[in-house]
Structure 1
Amino acid sequence: MAEQKSIALTFDDGPNTSTTVEMLDVLEAFGVPATFFLVGENITAETIPVVRRAYACGCEIANHSVSHAALSELTPEEILAEVQPVTEQITAITGEPPRFFRPPYIAVSPTVFETVPLPMICGMGAEDYNDAVSAQQRLERWLSAAQDGGILLLHDSEGNTQTVAAVQKLIPALQAQGYRLVTLSRLFAEKGVQPAAQNGVLYSCTADGDAV
């Protein structure tokens, strides 16, 4: 029997009380988890219950910086000031420190790699932050990028209804192709990969670390 394929859906720029909630409704309807990369400034008294809901339904919570700044333009001290507070916020909410970091704008540099104390994740995107890209175009781009051990990059930013619509079709389409949808931690574990921090690798697939 062939090994079942696995893939991870990852969402950037939440939490919020609109799109993040709609995305959780979709994920729960299909019974699949995802990984949410949170922006610290969006973690508020109103959105903390949304984070708790995501964690309680099996989703993984990860770090996307305090203010969505381009870290490649910052000093090591400024980089840590963008990373550590969000780690503390997530740990306080879930009781579990985040295991992954996604640099805003995927803006990296040697200093960023040397400074951030978490494995760094990229992923295959579909420009779903651009309203001009339709839900159907997003769906087609993610499906064409799908691969075993792959990481898909999506956005649950407030008002991003086209991605919600696309995900409603993306999940069953991936399942029809034989994929199991899992969290990032489960994806790496299933593929026998231990992602490391400060190793110069930006993971868009579990195999990306093989070059290290």
Structure 2
Amino acid sequence: MSLQRLVVDFMFFVIVTYIIIPNLVLRFIGIGTFKRQKSEGVALTFDDGPDPDYTPRILDVLERYNVPATFFVVGENAASYPDLIKEIQGHGHQLGIHCQQHLCPWFLNPWATWRKWDEGVATLERLTGQNVEWIRPPWGLFNLALWLWLKWRKKKVVLWNVEGLDWFTQRRPEQITDRVLKKMSVGSIVLLHDSGGQPRAPENTVCALESICRKLTVERRLPVVSLDLSK
């Protein structure tokens, strides 16, 4: 067997072991992750913040409709806007970590993976004074090192089963609303964003959230509840 063939076979083994298998097990099969919650209601979650322009506006909408949510924050953003973390807490919402930086796990080596996630957890715990129990990886993607980190640190992975595809600027508020409401059911975990994505994409999310909260709480009378993974 030639050296070139050995290198190709080794790289294939690394890709399958480090990337494909963890994503197959954790993301697609859902072993060891939560795509739905336990309570008889739906849970709204927001990724990529906090953001000084959009997060306060989202908090205002949630407060107006008395709707709880969970924010999976990026550690470096949280460190840049600690007052927003306090504001999220002050409104009674839950917090989880979305890694220290919004980086694709597929391109992080094992040492960088552990370091970035430990940094993210430490950042959020320092700002909140509370233990971080829930994590959500960027794009919902995994590598083998993250899988092992989850086991070692005893963290729960919160994914989703409904998403608004709201990271695209061209995604109009009514499109986000229609997609979320069409796919939502009791126990759903909904993914939205209060930062990140294409430029000004969260503007559409803010507008869509008003309609989503109104239709859920007033028209459908479907309870929007805090994320519950305890049962």
TM-score normalised to structure 2 length: 0.74
Instruction: Report the residue type matching 2:40 in the other structure.
Output: K
- State the alpha-carbon separation in 2 of the partners of residues 122 and 163 from structure 1: 19
Alpha carbon RMSD of aligned pairs, Å?
1.7
Deviation at 1:183, TM superposition (A): 2.4
Counterparts in 2 of 1:61-72, with a 5 A limit? 61-72=95-106
More deviation, 147-156/94-103: 94-103
Q: Give the aligned partner of residue 212 of structure 2.
A: 170
- State the alpha-carbon separation in 2 of the partners of residues 44 and 77 from structure 1: 22
Q: Give the aligned partner of residue 185 of structure 2.
A: 147
Q: Give the aligned partner of residue 124 of structure 2.
A: 90
Deviations 1:3-36 (A, max 9, x none): x831110001101211001101111111121100
Where structure 2 has 5 or more consecutive residues not aligned to the other structure, the ranges are 1-38
TM-score normalised to structure 1 length: 0.81
- State the alpha-carbon separation in 2 of the partners of residues 78 and 44 from structure 1: 19
- State the alpha-carbon separation in 2 of the partners of residues 81 and 173 from structure 1: 42
The percent identity for this pair of structures is 28
Q: Give the aligned partner of residue 188 of structure 1.
A: 229
Query: 3-state SS of the aligned residue for 1:15?
Result: coil
- State the alpha-carbon separation in 1 of the partners of residues 51 and 170 from structure 2: 22
Question: Match for 1:134 among 172, 183, 186?
Answer: 172
Query: 3-state SS of the aligned residue for 1:43?
Result: helix
- Structure with bigger gyration radius: 2
Deviations 1:39-58 (A, max 9, x none): 1121235x111110111111
Moved over 4 A (4+): none
Deviation at 1:127, TM superposition (A): 1.2
Deviations 1:166-188 (A, max 9, x none): 0001012122323222222xx22
- How many residues are treated as equivalent by the alignment? 184
1:119 paired to 2:162: no
